[in-house]
Chains A and B, each alone.
Chain A
Amino acid sequence: MRRTVSIVCFILFLSSPSFGADLSGNSRTYLRFMESTNDDTFNPLYEYFDFHISNINGKDISFFFGGWLSYDLADISYNKRYDNNLQYAFIQYNHRASEFTAELGRFYVFEGIASEQIDGVYVKKYFRKKFGLAVYGGIPVETDFDERGGDSIYGGRLSFEGRSYILGLSYLKEKNDSNDFREETGIDLYLRPLNEIELTGHSDYNIGESGWQEHSYYLSISPASSLYIKPLISWIDYRNFFYSPTTSAFRFDPAIVDPNEKLLTYGGSVEYNVGPFIISGDYKRHNYEIHESADYYGGSITYLSISPIFSKKKGSLGISVHRMDGKIESLKYNEYRFFASLNLNKVSLATDIIDIKYDLERNGVKNAYAISGYLGYSLTKNLILSADAEYGKNPEFDREVKTMLKVIYRL
């Protein structure tokens, strides 16, 4: 309680008129009703709260906070009646003129090979508006399988940025219990020689295991107005990629997923935009070195009624059909989806139907589906009340019903 009062006082102090700071954020309250496969009933109540205070004391300092609390009103969900999580809380100094940014606290780092959450410090500086240097270090925020003592993470990225390209070189090292846990380096690339051609991608190298983890590249070509061709290719070496998980789910059993596997995925999509309609076809081939290959292909028609920049979405409609066609029976199924949404003045409606038809029965079920509906009402500009429900049948549940009530308030 004392800590909560201290935080509230701190926020009020920083956002007081004498400081001239701007405060904004969201409170999101969710109440869920659902059952487990053992027919246990769960009614967890969640409060997600986030805010940021910018321009503290009229300077370039901001403070960001996000986290949630939960309490199960019916039963003990996931072995805990109470639960919580601090998603992020950090002070940021962002000096635009000198293109310098520093962060201190719990934050996210997205820099080349790093997609991490860290308790620590992050600094980024652009030099001559041409190249940037980012460095970070601290304690990783991960699912702990032991104590955090002796855990550390640090790394950085050097980037060279022009009007039509970005080239980045990044490095990351993580220790667990003072022992080496991860050491990786990567190259990331962005090329846009013409407005009609764009290439993005990265190659990641596992230094500890001395081998490439992944190459992943995505090309977008627009040979004519409203027509987009988007090929993609990626390659993954399982032994180098899955080398430091914190769950046994990725410590593979050779009988199910061979850790010596190498996966080459290629394919792409073709999109044609006709006014608010997007017509697309896509194909992806998964070629395994050890297991049998699998193809995934299909098409979709989507209608998006959006005034592109300044207005809210008015509505959407979509239908898609896809086929997973693997060499083995368990990887053969058809996937159908239909969705629609409509935003009226104060009322929002949405529905989503997903149907999967397996070639081979799973737990006696050949046709799995989920149907959901949503109704929202804007009580004021900043307060939205909504309810949604989902009904489904699948190999795990004969009849699955999930509902959720939401109250969203914007500060």
Chain B
Amino acid sequence: MNKRTKTFLLIIIFSCIAISSYGELVKKHPIELISPPLCSKCHSDERSGLDHTYDFSKKHGFIASQKSLMCSSCHVPAFCADCHTNKEEIKPSDKFKESPERIMPHRGDYITQHKIDGRVNPASCMKCHGRKNNKRCLTCHR
């Protein structure tokens, strides 16, 4: 990074500290939520942006990378571990056959489809299988 970029970043950092404010995080959500929640039904502040709408899974990675403590007020690590793990043999869509409406990767025949998806955007594979959960890849990719 050059000097101008560093100065720019420092100005942003100190400006944010000067004007920001944020409410206290709760350790555990006071009410148990059984189905995917629509946070905006009760909250009108920034938490309303956490509505678990139909396509929430598409942006959940962004949210988790910024608000992981907020996620943990409802979700235990087992929830994340069903997909995000260093070693797994059962596809998430096979573990949750009862919920076909959930957006999950690798439904149906993925042996054929992975060659197509890997060609179109291999970055989407790399995030979960680049450095972990890829022992099965070695069967063919030696």
Contacts and interface: CB of A to CB of B under 8 A. Distances in A.
B126 A392 contact: no
B11 interface: no
Contacts of A380: none
Contacts of A209: none
A249 B141 contact: yes
Interface in A111-156: 111-115, 117, 124, 126, 129-131, 140-143
A207 to B, nearest CB: 10
B33 A87 contact: no
Interface in A321-360: 324, 326, 330-331, 333, 339-341, 348, 350-352, 354, 356
A269 interface: yes
A164 B21 CA distance: 10
Interface in B100-133: 100-101, 107-109, 111-113, 116, 118-123, 125-127, 129-133
Contacts of A60: 27
Contact of A354 (B45, B69, B90, B108): B108
Nearest to B18: A130
B20 A236 contact: no
B101 A341 contact: yes
A246 B17 contact: no
Contact of A117 (B67, B86, B127): B86
Given A101-B69, A246-B134, A312-B34, A386 B98 contact: yes
Contact of B21 (A70, A158, A163, A308): A163
Interface in A274-317: 278, 286, 294, 296, 302, 304, 306-313, 316
Contact of B86 (A85, A263, A307): A85
A166 interface: yes
Contacts of B90: 30, 32, 46
A310 B132 contact: no
Contacts of B16: 130-131, 160, 162, 165, 167
A169 B9 contact: yes
A369 B107 CA distance: 11
A201 B62 contact: yes
Contact of B22 (A64, A129, A238): A129
Contact of B80 (A108, A395, A400): A108
A400 B110 CA distance: 12
B101 A318 contact: yes
Given A129-B23, A370-B109, 14 more contacts: A87-B85, A111-B65, A126-B22, A161-B20, A165-B16, A166-B66, A166-B67, A200-B62, A271-B54, A308-B38, A352-B100, A356-B112, A368-B112, A374-B97
Closest 8 A/B residue pairs (Cβ): A160-B16, A339-B100, A370-B108, A394-B109, A162-B20, A50-B78, A249-B141, A316-B101
15 contacts: A60-B27, A87-B77, A96-B27, A117-B132, A126-B22, A130-B21, A143-B135, A162-B22, A248-B141, A308-B41, A309-B37, A316-B101, A354-B108, A362-B112, A396-B111
Interface of A: 25-26, 28, 30, 32, 44, 46, 50, 52, 54, 60, 64, 66, 70, 77-78, 83, 85, 87-88, 94, 96, 99, 101, 107-108, 110-115, 117, 124, 126, 129-131, 140-143, 158-169, 188, 190, 192, 195, 198, 200-202, 214, 218, 230, 236, 238, 241-242, 244-250, 252, 256-257, 263, 265, 269, 271, 278, 286, 294, 296, 302, 304, 306-313, 316, 318, 324, 326, 330-331, 333, 339-341, 348, 350-352, 354, 356, 362, 368-370, 372, 374, 376, 386, 388, 392, 394-397, 400, 402, 404
